[in-house]
Amino acid sequence: MYGEYVEWAFEKNGEFSFFDGYSVTNGEYKISGNKLNLSTHETYTIVTLKKNAKLKLKAYGKTYTFDYFCV
């Protein structure tokens, strides 16, 4: 993992990009049900992702909240 806070960037085309290359694409500010690898061995489900809000990830029955920023 990358610690408590993970930085995200929002692009106008709807792509949310993780700075080491991970990304998830959706045409809206809020996405749900998409899976994203944040580390080598763990897959997280994105619960909510809204502009100017927190990124919440659910993994193995636990919910993790990360900050992200909007470009």
Residue-by-residue pLDDT tens, the chain, 71 positions: 333 333 443 333 344 444 433 344 333 333 333 444 444 444 444 544 554 445 555 555 555 555 444 33
Confirm whether 31 is domain-assigned.
yes
Confirm whether 19 is domain-assigned.
yes
- Find the domain containing 52 and state its range: 8-67
pLDDT, residue 71, reads 35
Q: How many domains does the chain have?
A: 1
Confirm whether 42 is domain-assigned.
yes
Confirm whether 2 is domain-assigned.
no
Instruction: Using CB atoms within 10 Å of the CB of residue 65, give its burial: 0 to 12 exposed, 13 to 18 middle, 19+ buried.
Output: middle
Query: Does the pTM of the predicted model rise above 0.95?
Result: no
Tokens read off for 11: 């692009």
Confirm whether 63 is domain-assigned.
yes
